[in-house]
Chain A
Amino acid sequence: MSSPRLDRELKKGSAELLILSLVEDQPRHGYDIGQLIELRSRGVLRFNVASLYPLLYRLEKRGWIRGRWVEKAGQRRRRYYRLTSAGRKVLATQRDGWQEFVGAINRITGIAHA
C-alpha cells in the first residue's frame, strides 16, 4: 500500500463490502467501524474521516444501512449504523461477487507465480 492513489482505488472497490460486513451483526458507530477495519486488516487498510463518512452517508442514502443517534447514560450521543434488509441482500451478492473476483485473481496470479 505504498501509493496513496492505488490505496484509494482499491479501497473504493472494497470499502462498501467492508462496511456492510462490519455492521452485519451489530450496529456500530463510525469511529468503531474505522478502528475495526484498521485492526482486522492489521493496519493495511486505513480510513480517515474524509473518506469514511462520505461512504457511510452514501450507503445510508442508498438505504443499505441506517444511522441512528443513540444516547447512553454518561456518554455523548453517537450515531450507530445498522444493516437494513436491503443492505443484507446487497451484502450477500457483493460477498459472492467478491469471492468470485478474488478466486479469479488468485487463479490468475497463482498460475502466473506457479
Chain B
Amino acid sequence: MPDFKEAIRKQLAKLRLPPTRESEIVEELSQHLEDQYEQSLSRGASEEDAYQGTLRGLAENDLLARELNRVERRVVQEPVPLGNEKANLLTDLGQDLRYGVRMLAKNPGFTFVAVLALALGIGANSAIFSVVNTVLLQPLPYKNPEQLVMAWEENSKQGFPHDTPAAANYVDWRDQNHVFAAMAAMTDISFNLTGMGDPERIDGLRVSASLFPMLGVQPQSGRAFRSEEDRPGANHVVMMSYGLWQRRFGGDPAIVGKPINLNGESFTVVGVMPREFQFPTRNYQPWVPIAFDSKEAGNRGSHYLEVIARIKSGTTLPQAQAEMTTIATRLEQQYPATNTSIGAVLTPLHEHVVGNIKPALLVLLGAVAFVLLIACANVANLLLARAAVRQKEIALRLALGASRARLIRQFLTESVLLACLGGGVGLLLSLSGLDVLKRFIPPNISQAQAIEIDARVLIFTVLMSLTTGLIFGIAPALQAAHFNLNDTLKEGGRDSAAGNRGNRIRGLLVISEVAISFILLVGAGLLINSFLHLRNVDPGFRAENVLTMKIVLPEARYPDKGRRSVFYDALIRRVENLPGVTSAAVVTDVPLTNSGNSVGVSIEGRADPAPDRIPIVITRMISSRYFKVMSIPLLKGRELNEGDKAESQPVAVISETTARLFWPAEDPLGKRIRVGSGPNNSNPWLLIVGVVKDVRQYELGVEPKPQMYLPHAQNEFFYPCALVVRTNVNPLSLAEAVRRTVWEIDKDQPVSDISSMEEVVSESVARQRFSMLLLGVFASLALILAAVGIYGVMSYTVAQRTREIGIRMALGAQRGDVLRLTVGQGLRLVSVGVLIGLAAAFVLTRVMASLLFGVSPTDLTTFITISVVLISVAALASYLPALRATKVDPMFALRYQ
C-alpha cells in the first residue's frame, strides 16, 4: 500500500494549520485515498494506474487547499504555535503563564524543591529587610526628624569622642548659638512609684520643657510642660507615656490634674503622650522637667546630660557644627580648668538611635542576599537539568517556527512564575520568622517592636522575586535558545554541543555556590569565634549562683547615709539568714549593666596633672562581703569589712589595673588617693588597704579601666542601688523570698530588675548574640543549599556519564577508579569555588571588623576550618552520586541512551 500521507501533507502545507488539526485531516483523507486505491485495484487497475488515479483526485487544481482554506482559516487557534509574529505581548504572556502553570503542576517534585529553595532565600531577605526598613530606613516618628541632632562634648584625649555634656556647657551652647531652632537637655532618672498597688521602680527622664515642642509631638490629653515649670520649685509636674497610663492607672480619663507619688513626693500629671510615642525608647515612661538649680546649671565638671537640638531650616549640619566648634573653643579659653580639650560635636539623631546595630544589620542584609544568590544558583541548576529533559519539546517548538527570542521569553516567564511562588511562600515564612527574630533583637534597639511587613517590604519582596526569576532563569533560557535543532532531532544526539555548554554553566554555578557559601561561612565563623572569645573573657567575677536586683532608696524617706545604712544592714542581715543564701551585699551598680560612676582622682605626693590628664577611676560603693558575693579575688591586703564605719579611717580597695597604672614600681598598700583635684579639694584622703582583680564593669569586650571600691558607709556621693546575693541553690528561686524580705523592712520600697548575674552577663552580649545567631543560621542555610546544589549537579553529571562509566567498568575499571573519577570531578569544581571564596572573603570580611572581638577579619584558623568543612561537605555531596555510579551494571549502561 502506497503512503498518501506525505502527498496530503504537501497539499496542506501552505495552510499552516494547527498541527493537531492537520494530523486529523491527514489521517481521515489518507484512509479515504487508501480505500479508493484498493477499490481501483479490485476493479482491475494496475498498481501504477490506481496510484496515479487516486492522487489525481487529491491534487486536482489545488482544489483541496483552496476549499479547505475557506473552511479552516476561521478555526479558533489552538494555543501552541509560539512565535506567531502577529500575536501580541499580553496574549503571549497569558499563554506563557498558563503553560508555565501546567509545567509546574506536572512536575510537583521539581516545583516543590525549587519553590522551597527560593522561599528560604526570599523569606530570609524579606525578614531582614523588614528589620532594616523599620530600624534604619523609616524616619524617626518626630516632626522633620532630619533636622534633629545630638550634641556631645568631644573629649577624645580622655577617650570620650562623644561624651555627655556638663550642664553649664549645655546652657552656654543653648544661649550662644544661632544655628538651632531649639535645644533640649535630658538625663535619666528613676522613680519609685508608690501609693497604689505594689511599689514599683520605673525609669524616666528629666527633660527641658523645650523637648516636646521641638520633637513636634502633641500629648493625646493634657499639655506639655510650660517653660515656667522648667525651674526648681515649679517642677513637680509629670507627663506620662500611654503604656504607664494604661498599665498603672487603668487609662483613667481624668488623670490629668491628679497627683501621683514619685520618690515619695507628689507630682501633678499634666499630660499623657500618644500610644505610638516613644522617646528615646519605649522603656522611658514618665518625664519631668529638668529644672536646673543654679548650682547644677553652673557645673562644668559632671558630664551626664544628653543634648538634642533642632537645626534651623536652611542651616546645614556642617554650618551648625562650625558654630558649635567656635563656641566650644571660646569656652575652652574661658574655663581652662574644666574645659581644656573639650570640644563639641553633632551627630544626626537617627545615627545615634540606630548607630550600634547598623553594621550588624548591613552585614546580615548582605548575608541574606548571598543566601538568595545560592538559592538562585540551585534553581538555575534544576532548570538546566530540566531544560535537557525538555529538549524534545524545545526542538518541536523550534521546528514549528517559534523564534529563539520567543522561547527565551517563555522560559523566563516560567522562571519568574516560579520565583513569584517562592516569593509568596517566602513572605509567609518571613511573617512567622519575624516573631522569632524580634525575640533576638536587642531590646535597646529603637522601634524594634514596631517591625512588621509593610507596603515597602511587600514591594521589596515582589521586586526581589521578579529579579530573582530573571537571574536564575537567564542561564537555562539562553541554553535553550542556543540549542541545536538538528542534533536533537537526530537519534541519540545526547552529547551535543548544547550539552557541553550546559555542563559548563552547571560547573560555573557550583563554583559560585561554593564561593558564596564560603564567604558566608567565614563570616559566621568569625562571629561565632568572636562570641566565644567574648563569653570566655574572664569578667573578673563568678556569675553563677548570684541573684541581683535593684533597690533604690528614695531621697525623701532616706535623706542621709545614716538612715540608708540602717536599711542596708537590716536587709543584708535578713537576706543572709534566708535558707539557700550564703552571703549578700549592696553595691552602687552591678557590673555589665551599662551604668555606674567614675570620678577624677588625685594621688598623694604628686602634683595635679593638667585638667585633661586627671586620672579617671570607675568607682563603686559597696558593703563588706561584696567581693565574697561576687567572687572577686583579693590579690593583696584586705577586703572592706564591718570595721570600715563612717567615723573610722576612710579606706579604698583598688583594682590591679589601678595599682599598675598609678604605682607601677611601688606597693600601693598604704598609699593615699582622693576624689577630685585642685587646691580647693576638701575630700578626705583614702588609705589603700587592698588590691582586687580587675572586673569588666561595662562591656565584656572592653579592656578593664582603673577601678576602686569604697565602703558605702563612708561616702556620700553615690549610694548603693543594687543588692547582690550569692546562693547555693538556683538564684532565681529565691527572688520572691528576697523581695518579701525587702517589704518586711519597708513596705513602700520597690524592687526591680530581678535577674541572675548570668542573665545580666548574657544580656550584655545580646547584640553580639543577635548577629552571631542570625549569620550562623544564614550560613548554615547557605551550606545546605550549596550541598544540595553540588549533589544535584553531580547526580546529573553521573547520570550523563553512565554509559562512559559502564564502558570503563566493562574494560576493567575498579570501584575505586570510578569513585576517584567522579568525586575528583566534583572536588575540582569545589576547590576552584573555595579559592575564589577565599580571595573574596579575605576582602569582604573587613567590613565586619567592627563586629569582631578577639579575632582578626582574616583569622587563619577560621579560614582553614571553613575550607575543611566546606570541602568535606562538598566531597560527601559528590560521593553519594559517585557511589551510585559504581553500582552501574555495564550491560545496562551500554544499552542506556
A57 touches B32 (CB 8 A): no
New A-B pairs, 20, CB < 8 Å, besides A49-B33, A49-B57: A30-B28, A30-B32, A31-B31, A48-B58, A49-B29, A49-B36, A50-B57, A50-B58, A50-B64, A53-B29, A53-B64, A54-B64, A54-B67, A54-B71, A57-B68, A57-B71, A57-B72, A58-B71, A61-B71, A61-B74
Task: Confirm or deny: A95 has a beta carbon within 8 angstroms of a beta carbon on chain B.
Answer: no
**Of A29, A48, A61, most B-chain CB atoms within 10 Å:** A48
Q: State the Cβ distance, B38 to closest chain A Cβ, in Å.
A: 10
**Of A30, A31, A58, most B-chain CB atoms within 10 Å:** A31
Q: Please, which residues of chain B bring their CB within 8 A of the CB of A49? A: 29, 32-33, 36, 57-58, 64
* Alpha-carbon distance A55/B68, docked complex (angstroms): 8
Q: Please, which residues of chain A bring their CB within 8 A of the CB of B68? A: 53-54, 57
A79 touches B70 (CB 8 A): no
A-B contact pairs, 25 of them (CB 8 A): A29-B31, A30-B28, A31-B32, A31-B35, A48-B56, A48-B58, A49-B29, A49-B57, A49-B58, A49-B64, A50-B57, A50-B63, A51-B63, A53-B28, A53-B64, A53-B68, A54-B64, A54-B68, A54-B70, A57-B68, A57-B71, A57-B72, A58-B70, A61-B75, A79-B28
Q: State the Cβ distance, A71 to closest chain B Cβ, in Å.
A: 12
Task: Confirm or deny: A87 has a beta carbon within 8 angstroms of a beta carbon on chain B.
Answer: no
* Alpha-carbon distance A8/B11, docked complex (angstroms): 20
Residues of A within 8 A of B (CB): 29-31, 34, 48-55, 57-58, 61, 76, 78-79
Q: Please, which residues of chain A bring their CB within 8 A of the CB of B35? A: 31
Q: Please, which residues of chain B bring their CB within 8 A of the CB of A31? A: 31-32, 35-36
Shortest Cβ distance from B65 into A: residue: A50
* Alpha-carbon distance A68/B322, docked complex (angstroms): 92
**Of B28, B60, B74, most A-chain CB atoms within 10 Å:** B28
A53 touches B33 (CB 8 A): no
Q: Please, which residues of chain B bring their CB within 8 A of the CB of A50? A: 11, 57-60, 63-64, 67
Interface digits, B35-66 against A, CB 8 Å rule (1 contact, 0 not)? 11000000000000000000011111001100
B57 touches A78 (CB 8 A): no
User: Which chain B residues numbered 523 to 555 have a C-beta less than 8 Å away from chain A?
Assistant: none
Interface digits, B1-40 against A, CB 8 Å rule (1 contact, 0 not)? 0000000000100000000000011001101110110000
* Alpha-carbon distance A29/B28, docked complex (angstroms): 9
Shortest Cβ distance from A58 into B: residue: B71
* Alpha-carbon distance A44/B29, docked complex (angstroms): 22
Q: State the Cβ distance, B50 to closest chain A Cβ, in Å.
A: 14
Shortest Cβ distance from A77 into B: residue: B27
Q: Once A and B bind, how many residue pairs between them come within 8 Å at the CB atom?
A: 56
* Alpha-carbon distance A77/B36, docked complex (angstroms): 17
**Of A30, A34, A57, most B-chain CB atoms within 10 Å:** A57
Q: State the Cβ distance, B32 to closest chain A Cβ, in Å.
A: 5
* Alpha-carbon distance A42/B491, docked complex (angstroms): 52
- Count the B residues whose beta carbon is within 8 Å of the partner chain — how many? 24
Q: Please, which residues of chain A bring their CB within 8 A of the CB of B70? A: 54, 58
Shortest Cβ distance from B60 into A: residue: A50
* Alpha-carbon distance A25/B24, docked complex (angstroms): 25
Q: Please, which residues of chain A bring their CB within 8 A of the CB of B31? A: 29-31, 76, 78
* Alpha-carbon distance A26/B64, docked complex (angstroms): 26
Shortest Cβ distance from A53 into B: residue: B29
Q: Please, which residues of chain A bring their CB within 8 A of the CB of B74? A: 61
* Alpha-carbon distance A30/B70, docked complex (angstroms): 19
* Alpha-carbon distance A29/B29, docked complex (angstroms): 11
Shortest Cβ distance from B59 into A: residue: A50
Q: Please, which residues of chain B bring their CB within 8 A of the CB of A58? A: 70-71
* Alpha-carbon distance A48/B63, docked complex (angstroms): 10
Q: Please, which residues of chain A bring their CB within 8 A of the CB of B57? A: 48-50
Which of A34, A48, A57, A61 is the one whose CB lies under 8 Å from B60? Answer: A48
Shortest Cβ distance from A48 into B: residue: B57
* Alpha-carbon distance A48/B11, docked complex (angstroms): 14
* Alpha-carbon distance A52/B35, docked complex (angstroms): 15
Q: State the Cβ distance, A89 to closest chain B Cβ, in Å.
A: 21
Shortest Cβ distance from B29 into A: residue: A49
Q: State the Cβ distance, A31 to closest chain B Cβ, in Å.
A: 4
B67 touches A51 (CB 8 A): yes
* Alpha-carbon distance A71/B151, docked complex (angstroms): 92
Q: State the Cβ distance, A49 to closest chain B Cβ, in Å.
A: 5
Shortest Cβ distance from B67 into A: residue: A54
* Alpha-carbon distance A70/B441, docked complex (angstroms): 71
* Alpha-carbon distance A50/B58, docked complex (angstroms): 5
Q: Please, which residues of chain B bring their CB within 8 A of the CB of A30? A: 28, 31-32
* Alpha-carbon distance A29/B30, docked complex (angstroms): 13
User: Which chain B residues numbered 733 to 791 have a C-beta less than 8 Å away from chain A?
Assistant: none
Q: Please, which residues of chain A bring their CB within 8 A of the CB of B67? A: 50-51, 54-55
* Alpha-carbon distance A58/B74, docked complex (angstroms): 11
Shortest Cβ distance from A51 into B: residue: B63
A53 touches B25 (CB 8 A): yes
Shortest Cβ distance from A46 into B: residue: B57
* Alpha-carbon distance A88/B739, docked complex (angstroms): 100
* Alpha-carbon distance A79/B26, docked complex (angstroms): 12
Q: Please, which residues of chain B bring their CB within 8 A of the CB of A78? A: 28, 31
Q: State the Cβ distance, A67 to closest chain B Cβ, in Å.
A: 8
Shortest Cβ distance from B53 into A: residue: A48
Shortest Cβ distance from B63 into A: residue: A50
Q: State the Cβ distance, A45 to closest chain B Cβ, in Å.
A: 14
Q: State the Cβ distance, A41 to closest chain B Cβ, in Å.
A: 17
**Of A34, A54, A79, most B-chain CB atoms within 10 Å:** A54
* Alpha-carbon distance A110/B447, docked complex (angstroms): 106
* Alpha-carbon distance A61/B58, docked complex (angstroms): 22
